[in-house]
Amino acid sequence: MADARPFHWEYQPVVEREALRVEGGRVLRGEVRISGSKNAALKLLAAATLTGERCRFENVPEIEDVRVMVETLQHLGVVVDHPAPNVYEVASGDVDWLFVPLEAAAKMRASFILLGPLLARFGRIIISNPGGDRIGRRPVNLHVDAMHALGAEVEYRYGYYYVRAPGRLRGTRISFPHVTVMGTENAVLAAALAQGRTVIQPAAQEPEVDDLIAFLQKMGAEVERTAPDRIEVEGRRRLRGADHTVMPDRIEAGTFVVAAAVTGGEVTLSNARAAHLPVFLDVLDSVGVELSCRSDSIFVRGAPTGSRAYRAARISTAPFPGLATDLQPPTAVLLTQADGTSELEETVFEDRLEWLADLGRMGANVEIVDDHHARISGPACLRAVEVEVGDLRAGASLVLAALAAEGTSTIRGAHHVRRGYENIERKFLELGASIGRVEEGTARTAG
Ligand code: EPZ
């Protein structure tokens, strides 16, 4: 194992039996600073393994998924230091084990983003097929196809991919059958050290992909988005260490926009880029939420609860620049307060509407038509509930519904929420919400 300095983890380990208790009806007011993006930070940490030189990242969110990624890197023998809150330094000189275990993949699908960089740098990797989570099957066939296209040999045995690149990966054309965010990212990361040119099309257009490209360019990689849905890479033999500040989390920003809207509050989101939320903010504007946006802040004024001021909408999720599938759950909570019947279409994942049943238990008028379509009629008066969450975005959205509901809700499985939202209770408390973390068995709540 490389001389990994002791990793000082200020982060409070997640208590599996954690619950959040939310007393609804409070109007949120004030300012909230949006944290660094989970879905950018995880890929940036993985990209650092493309070089043996030190890389430094700022504005990394202190969340469970980052802790899991750091732990996975350390198990590989990568040195990861945490010199200050939200700051991580990565140096992957000599990696001991090119093995990403089931435990990492089971905890976090994003561990699969290690495939591209480790294969490109070291020529071989054994990596667990990541478990899906509660929003669909979540296969990784497109990632594997991309590695094949770059010249890798892949065997699949007992849940693990055994991937080798005899010699160096070779640049090629990678044509995905449909857009895949992490598939695009794995292909870019592998191509960065391949011999020759790689053209990826259609390439995902999510802002997190462009944040990764910006970091790779600082490392000396020749990576460029040459058309909205095309990325071209001229492989290099070696890349250098670089520093990077993680972009803001646009999904967290959307979550807090809805929190203000459904509590009739007035909230300013700082470190929030409206340009990353084009369709989402258009939808909220059409619903009747008052918004004013600057380059890196968003002001939201919600309509008083029960005022029937919000209008129903028809929404359909899509890859960027469409409405982010991760914002479908928060938007659904808003639509329970809209006057009329809204139509939801979820085009990205096959069962990301299931969670609406819990919203129905809170009094929302929800009809799940099929795996991809639902209707929500409003406005509905939401009532408190005790509920178990199974995935990150649905969990956060049930917190939003609880903030708008009458009474006190208990949301079990809150560790799912803390996987992806930094200090979410503290942020809501500072906006005037009544919310606390409750460990089952003790009545402790967050101060
Ligand atoms: C990323 O997942 C995000 N996760 C997801 O956020 C996000 O919902 C998703 O992109 C879409 O924007 C991270 O970045 C860590 P995809 P990813 O490949 O890359 C299918 C969150 O809560 N597919 O774009 O895994 C897939 O099943 C998470 O932060 C294949 O069929 O999503 C889906 O139907 C949830 N084969 C569609 O493509 C593959 O090999 C798009 O998925 C890969 C994907």
| Closest residue by CA, ligand 1 atom 5 | 326
Q: Looking at 245, 271, 286, which one is the last position of a domain?
A: 245
Give residue 94's domain range: 38-245
| Closest residue by CA, ligand 1 atom 21 | 326
DSSP per-residue codes, 300-341: EEPPPTTS--EEP-EEEB-STTSB-GGGHHHHHHHHTTEEEE
447 residues of the chain, pLDDT tens digit each: 444 444 444 444 554 668 999 999 999 999 999 999 999 999 999 999 999 999 999 999 999 999 999 999 999 999 999 999 999 999 998 788 899 988 888 888 899 999 999 999 999 999 999 865 566 677 899 999 999 999 999 999 988 999 999 889 999 999 999 999 999 999 999 999 999 999 999 999 999 999 999 999 999 999 999 999 999 999 999 999 999 999 999 999 999 999 999 999 999 999 999 999 999 999 999 999 999 999 999 999 999 887 889 999 999 999 999 999 999 999 999 999 999 999 999 999 988 999 999 999 999 999 999 999 999 999 999 999 999 998 899 999 999 999 999 999 999 998 899 899 999 999 999 999 999 988 764 434 443
Q: Looking at 194, 221, 245, which one is the last position of a domain?
A: 245
d(CA 274, CA 182) in angstroms, rounded, equals 23
Residue whose tokens read 């990150």 = 392
In sequence order, what are the residues at sequence separation of 6 or more whose Cβ sits closer than 8 angstroms to the Cβ of residue 211?
37, 40, 44, 244, 246, 247
What would the two tokens of residue 105 be? 């993949």
Whether 205 lines ligand 1, by a CB cut-off of 6 Å, is no
Q: Tens digit of pLDDT for each residue in 61-107? A: 999 999 999 999 999 999 999 999 999 999 998 788 899 988 888 88
Q: Looking at 245, 269, 288, which one is the last position of a domain?
A: 245
Same domain, 72 and 127: yes
Residue whose tokens read 């997640």 = 14
Same domain, 62 and 128: yes
| Closest residue by CA, ligand 1 atom 9 | 181
Residue 370 burial (10 A CB sphere; 0-12, 13-18, 19+):
exposed
d(CA 320, CA 298) in angstroms, rounded, equals 20
| Domain-embedded: residue 2 | no
Whether 136 lines ligand 1, by a CB cut-off of 6 Å, is yes
Same domain, 214 and 263: no
d(CA 361, CA 355) in angstroms, rounded, equals 10
| Domain-embedded: residue 12 | no
| Domain-embedded: residue 14 | no
What would the two tokens of residue 320 be? 């960027």
| Global confidence as pTM | 0.94
Q: Are strands 197-200 and 124-128 parallel, antiparallel or unpaired?
A: unpaired
| Closest residue by CA, ligand 1 atom 30 | 139
Same domain, 102 and 53: yes
Helix (H) or strand (E) holding 434: strand 434-439
CB count within 10 Å of CB 62 equals: 19
Closest CA to 1 of 72, 70, 94: 94
| Domain-embedded: residue 9 | no
Burial 151-190 (b: 16+ CB within 10 A, else e): bbeeeeeeebbebebeebbbbbebebeebbbbbbbbbbbb
Q: Among 143, 186, 326, 424, which is best to mutate for testing ligand 1, by the most ligand atoms less than 8 A from CB?
A: 326
Whether 248 lines ligand 1, by a CB cut-off of 6 Å, is no
Task: Say how many domains are in the chain.
Answer: 2
Q: Which atom of ligand 1 is nearest to the CA of 325?
A: 8
Whether 181 lines ligand 1, by a CB cut-off of 6 Å, is yes
Q: Among 108, 174, 179, 181, which is best to mutate for testing ligand 1, by the most ligand atoms less than 8 A from CB?
A: 181
Same domain, 254 and 225: no
Same domain, 238 and 378: no
In sequence order, what are the residues at sequence separation of 6 or more whose Cβ sits closer than 8 angstroms to the Cβ of residue 55?
47, 48, 89, 90, 91, 219, 241, 242, 243, 244
Residue 389's domain is classified under what CATH number? Answer: 3.65.10.10
Same domain, 264 and 389: yes
DSSP per-residue codes, 138-165: ---HHHHHHHHHTT-EEEEETTEEEEE-
Report whether 122 contacts 165 (CB < 8 A).
Answer: no
Whether 348 lines ligand 1, by a CB cut-off of 6 Å, is yes
